Chain A
Amino acid sequence: MKFSKLFLIALSVSLFVSCSNDDDDNDSNEPKGVYDNGFFILNEGSQTKGTISFLSDDLATFSKDVYGLNNNNDLPGGYLQNIFFDGDNAYIISGGSNVINVVNRYTFKLITKIETGLRNPRYGVTYEGKAYVTNANYYSFENAATGNTDDYIAVINLKTNTFESKIDLNATANRIVEENGKLYITEPYSSTKLLVVNAATKTVETPIEIGSKADGIEEDNGTLYILRGPSSDRSEIVKVKLSDKSVSKITFPESLDGAGYLALEDNKIYYTVGTSVYTIGTSATAASTTPILTATLSATGYIYGFAVNDDRIYIADGGTFGTDSKAFIYNLTGTLQKEIAVGIGPNGFYFND
Chain B
Amino acid sequence: MTFKKRFIFCLLLLCQILWAQQDSITKLKAVVISDAHLKKYSNSQSVLKLNDSVIGKNEVLLTDLLNYNSTIYFKQYGRGMLSTVSFRGTSSSQTAVIWNGININSQMNGSTDFNTISGSDYNSISVKAGGGSVIYGSGAIGGTVHLNNDLSFYNHFDNYLKLDYGSFNTTGIHYKTNISNEKWSAQIGFSKNSSTNDYKYINKYTWRGEQRWNQNGEYDIITMSANLGYKIDKKNTLKLYSQNSNTDRNTSLVSENETKSKYINGFNRNLLEYNGEFGKLTTNFKTAYIFENYQYFSDNSTNDYTFGKTESLILKGDLGYQLFQSTQINGILDYNKTKGYGSGFGDHTREISSASLLTKQDISEDWKAEFGVRKEFTDNYKSPVLFNIGSSYQVSKLYNLKLNFSRNFRIPTYNDLYWQEGGNPDLKPESSYQAEIGNVFTFNNISLTQTFYYIKIKDMLQWIPGKNGIWAPQNNDRVNSYGAETLLSWRKQLGKNNFAANATYAYTISENVETKKQLFFVPFHKATGSIAYSRNRISANYQILYNGFVYTRADNDPDEIVNDYLISNIGIDYDFKFLDSFKLGFQVLNLFNETYESLENRPMPGRNFNMYLTLKF
Contacts and interface: CB of A to CB of B under 8 A. Distances in A.
B464 A138 contact: no
Contacts of B466: 300
A49 B601 contact: yes
A97 interface: yes
Interface string B231-268: 00000000000000000000000111111000000000
B553 A323 contact: yes
Given A48-B601, A138-B299, A321 B465 contact: yes
A20 interface: no
B557 interface: yes
Interface residues of B, number: 25
Interface stretch (A52-60, A71-79, A122-130): A71-79
A77 B464 contact: no
A160 interface: no
A302 B467 CA distance: 7
Question: What DSSP secondary structure best describes chain B's contact surface?
Answer: loop
Contact of A320 (B258, B302, B465): B465
B255 A97 contact: yes
Contacts of B555: 323-324
Nearest to A319: B465
B444 interface: no
Given A74-B207, A320-B464, A324-B557, A97 B254 contact: yes
A142 interface: yes
B468 interface: yes
A115 interface: yes
A99 interface: yes
Interface string B531-556: 00000000000000000000001110
A323 B255 contact: no
Contacts of A99: 255, 257
B493 interface: no
Nearest to B298: A142
A98 B258 contact: yes
B306 interface: yes
Contacts of A294: none
A143 B296 CA distance: 12
B306 A97 contact: no
B259 A98 contact: yes
Interface in A24-49: 47-49
A124 B207 CA distance: 23
Contacts of B580: none
A302 B306 contact: no
B467 A141 contact: no
Nearest to B254: A48
A346 interface: no
A113 B207 contact: yes
Contacts of B467: 302
Contact of A141 (B255, B258, B306): B306
A322 B554 contact: yes
B557 A110 contact: no
Contacts of A318: 465, 469
Contacts of A322: 553-554
Interface string B183-223: 00000000000000000000000010000000000000000
A102 to B, nearest CB: 11
A97 B343 contact: no
B158 interface: no
Contact of A71 (B207, B256, B302, B468): B207
Interface in B548-576: 553-555, 557
Given A78-B255, A97-B258, A300-B465, A323 B554 contact: yes
B304 interface: yes
A231 interface: yes
Contacts of B465: 300, 302, 318, 320-321
A258 interface: yes
B273 interface: no
A118 interface: yes
A61 B256 CA distance: 33
Given A48-B600, A324-B555, A143 B257 contact: no
A47 to B, nearest CB: 7
Contacts of A348: none
Contacts of B259: 98, 119-120
Interface residues of A, number: 34
Interface string A88-105: 000000101111000000
B302 A143 contact: yes
B262 to A, nearest CB: 13
B215 to A, nearest CB: 12
Nearest to A318: B465
Nearest to A116: B257
Given A98-B259, A113-B207, A302 B469 contact: yes
Nearest to B466: A300
A231 B207 contact: no
A229 to B, nearest CB: 9
Given A113-B207, A320-B554, A138 B304 contact: yes
Given A113-B207, A142-B298, A97 B257 contact: yes
B299 A115 contact: no
Contacts of A49: 254, 600-601
A336 to B, nearest CB: 22
A180 B468 CA distance: 34
A318 B298 CA distance: 26
A115 B257 contact: yes
Give the most central of A74, A142, A318: most B CB within 10 Å.
A142
A324 B552 CA distance: 12
A321 B466 CA distance: 11
Nearest to B602: A48
Interface string A207-234: 0000000000000000000000001000
B346 to A, nearest CB: 14
Nearest to A99: B257
Nearest to A345: B465
B263 to A, nearest CB: 14
Nearest to A323: B555
Contacts of B304: 138, 142-143
Interface string B298-317: 11001010100000000000
Contacts of A324: 553, 555, 557
B255 A77 contact: yes
A24 B207 CA distance: 33
Contact of A142 (B256, B306, B468): B306
A143 to B, nearest CB: 4
Interface string A240-254: 000000000000000
A48 B465 CA distance: 19
Contacts of A142: 298-299, 304, 306
Contacts of B601: 48-49, 75
Contacts of B557: 323-324
Contacts of A96: 258
Interface in B330-374: 343
A97 to B, nearest CB: 4
Contacts of A75: 254-255, 601
Interface in B568-609: 600-601
Nearest to B599: A48
A96 B256 CA distance: 11
13 contacts: A48-B255, A49-B254, A97-B257, A97-B258, A98-B258, A115-B256, A120-B259, A138-B304, A142-B304, A318-B465, A321-B465, A322-B553, A324-B555
Given A48-B601, A74-B207, A119-B259, 16 more contacts: A75-B255, A77-B257, A97-B258, A98-B257, A115-B256, A120-B259, A138-B299, A139-B298, A142-B298, A143-B302, A143-B304, A322-B554, A323-B553, A323-B554, A324-B553, A324-B557
Interface of A: 47-49, 71, 74-75, 77-78, 94, 96-99, 110, 113, 115, 118-120, 138-139, 141-143, 231, 258, 300, 302, 318, 320-324
Interface of B: 207, 254-259, 298-299, 302, 304, 306, 343, 464-469, 553-555, 557, 600-601
